[in-house]
Structure 1
Amino acid sequence: MQAAPGEPLVASSRGPGRARGARRLTLGDMAEALQVSTATVSLALRDSPLVAPATRERIKAHALAAGYVYNRSAAALRTARSNMIGVAVHDILNPYFAEVFRALEDELGRENQVVLICNHRDDVARQQRFIDTLMQHRVDGLVICASVGTRVEDINGLADSGIPVTLICRDVAGARVPVVRSDDVAGARMVVSHLIAQGHRQIAMIGGRRQSSSGHDRNLGWKLALEEAGIDVAAQLDIPELMTTADGRDAVAQLLSATPRPTAVFAFNDLIAHGLLSALRRAGVEPGRDIAVAGYDDTDGAASRTPALTSVWNKPDEIGKTAAALMLRQIAGAPVTEMPAPILPELRVRESTPPPKPGGEGQARGA
């Protein structure tokens, strides 16, 4: 019988370098010494095929050398609830995630669960440290907007170790856990199709980390809408990887120097769109008159800007509530047999996306 994640393993007096009465060896200690995750140690000690044979043998050899003995009292403690849920996202400064948190906290709070938030900043090592720490503190479950670079083996390893896991907003291909996210391809097609219907033919896309599912899918939706309208995708300005308001401001110089200059911009999120609006105006180009700008997420304040921002409502309340319900179900021991379908977002058209100015660059001749 082996320990679950976070359970202490007791080093016996047989282990070299361990004096009788030394502090108990934990999975976290072993993970740190071997430069692997806590979940990997737990899986290896249970002979899980999810861990490569060489890694499994290295971990077991280390445990044997330490002379560990399974701690049954700690195992009993593992069955107790901590009433803590870890939530990891890439940008807590994005107001969209604040709206997701609010719905998530409201639903989990009704079951006396406390939410602990980590801002991993798309740093997979930082994400893993947060997860390992929570595992050692017997967290009841994990809600993760996965960092770029997250391995499917790590997500499935967590699930196989017995901890409830739910992914939000970003998918990890092959993960055997529930995923709650919107249909980013459909949302991007909605907004780009709107810009095309307004008469635009030079439509830039700015932002999105393309190694993430949301960045990939919104870029794909942009391309599909252009292709369906017979517009050459290769002739469009596409600036990847940008995510913040500052990124949006910094992109304006490249946007305005492009030939032909875009008459419309699809921003990966509202943060980028807000940066574009302010920097365009400073450059003497009036958004909503000289150029169309559309965002994504329809965060608080999008409708009250000047011009009011056209954006895709990404339904954060529904995402938060659904993720909370799935988490509570898993904590209660009920299997999730049906994965939730992607949530369909909604386009909200406002002042920032008028038709192109007569005679402006990128109209019908750019088709």
Structure 2
Amino acid sequence: MQTTKRITLLDIAADAGVSRATVSLVMRESPLVAAETRERVLLSAERLGYVYDRVAASLRSQRSASVGLVVTSVGNPFFAEITTGVESVLSETGRLAILGQHSESLATQERLLNQLLEYRVDGVILTAVAGTPASAIERLTRNGVNVVLCTRRVPGAAASYVGSDNEAGARAAAGHLLDHGVATVAFVGGVDGSPRRERARGLTAGLVGRGFDPSLLVSIPSPPTREGGYAATVDLLRTATLPVGIQAYNDIVAFGVAAAVRDAGLVVGHDVALIGFDDIQASRFEQPPLTTVDSDAAGIGARAAELFMRPPDERGEHVELMSPARLVVRSSCGCGDDSPAKGG
């Protein structure tokens, strides 16, 4: 069987007519090499098909130039947009993002974090599983890994955090639902964790601010999926007084809510005023287009990566960055419709 010889620095040196040390300096982007020499070495490397041996470089430096990005589900477009934001920053420095999903499983998250430690990643940007102990974050930092928590807090963890202003976004949504004259207000979807608690607080504050009895708020947790939103809404509609105002935990849950409303023979934007959360791209193409809260997912990802990129002497200062949350009004809430669930 024919084997292909791996191109080495010595091969490039011979082709370019320089020393191996000079080639090494060029590959490490040292400013000590003259521009003409650098160009000649790079042209030789390209002509010979040289591939940088990052594994060997990592062994020498004890650094991998990679960052673990661990999220809840790659199937949720919200996390795809976060990933885009992270990549937009990391790509400028030649760093590689290693993506993993835990699907709300503590065991899966532990396995992923262990593997990232084994690969000697420089940092981890983590949307933690609900219930993650602070000790899981401490283990990473004790091993020299820079940790940035993204969209979900871990109580007691010594790490920086980036997320959206969930309370303000839900507060605005609550007022908008009441503008539509709904008889029932429900918070549907999501598992216990800081995002759901913050959105619940904002929703409650918005209702109280408008004189609505918060004890009448119906809260139905569920997995943050279409299936979870669908099942929760089926239960809600059995007893709710119409018209109903629903704040969905996220846009994916809202899609499941809308399907359950249609299957019950009701109309979104008429019998049910529906608001999502996140403003993923698909929300504007729903029928009717989904009113939602823009949480700036790509911006959250970019800011998380920027926090990771801080100089080592600044990483001991744990900071919190919040993206503004903005209500985006479309049709699912009843705006533009002459229905019982109508408002501005």
User: TM class, shorter-chain normalised?
Assistant: 0.7 to 0.9
Deviation at 1:119, TM superposition (A): 0.9
Change (3 A) 1:274 1:259: closer
Cα deviation 1:248-294 (Å, max 9, x = unaligned): 22223212212434521110000111111122112210101221111
Look up the match of 1:351. 331
Aligned pairs for 1:135-214 (under 5 A) are 135-210=117-192, 212-214=193-195
Aligned pairs for 1:144-293 (under 5 A) are 144-210=126-192, 212-261=193-242, 263-293=244-274
* Separation in 2, partners of 1:225, 1:93: 31
- TM-score, with structure 2 as normaliser: 0.77
Look up the match of 1:69. none
* Separation in 2, partners of 1:180, 1:264: 29
Q: Report the secondary structure of 1:302's partner residue.
A: helix
Contact persistence 2:71–2:127 (CA under 8 A): yes
Q: State the number of aligned residues.
A: 285
Tell me whether 236-245 or 90-99 shows the greater mean CA deviation.
236-245
Look up the match of 1:52. none
Q: Report the secondary structure of 1:154's partner residue.
A: helix
Aligned pairs for 1:254-333 (under 5 A) are 254-261=235-242, 263-330=244-311
Look up the match of 2:78. 96
Q: Percent identity?
A: 32
Aligned pairs for 1:5-154 (under 5 A) are 77=59, 79-154=61-136
Contact persistence 1:187–1:346 (CA under 8 A): yes
- Amino acid corresponding to residue 204 of structure 1 in structure 2: A
* Separation in 1, partners of 2:160, 2:60: 23
* Separation in 1, partners of 2:320, 2:221: 29
- TM-score, with structure 1 as normaliser: 0.72
* Separation in 1, partners of 2:285, 2:318: 39
Contact persistence 1:141–1:165 (CA under 8 A): yes
Change (3 A) 1:355 1:309: closer
Contact persistence 2:102–2:108 (CA under 8 A): yes
Contact persistence 1:326–1:336 (CA under 8 A): no
Look up the match of 1:11. none
Give structure 2 stretches of 5+ with no counterpart.
Answer: 1-57
Look up the match of 2:17. none
Contact persistence 1:237–1:262 (CA under 8 A): no
Deviation at 1:156, TM superposition (A): 2.6
Contact persistence 2:151–2:195 (CA under 8 A): yes
Change (3 A) 1:265 1:239: same
* Separation in 1, partners of 2:320, 2:340: 44
Give structure 1 stretches of 5+ with no counterpart.
Answer: 1-75, 362-367
Deviation at 1:307, TM superposition (A): 0.9
Cα deviation 1:122-169 (Å, max 9, x = unaligned): 111211111111111211111100111211122133223321111101
Deviation at 1:346, TM superposition (A): 0.7
More helix, by proportion: 2
Change (3 A) 1:115 1:230: same
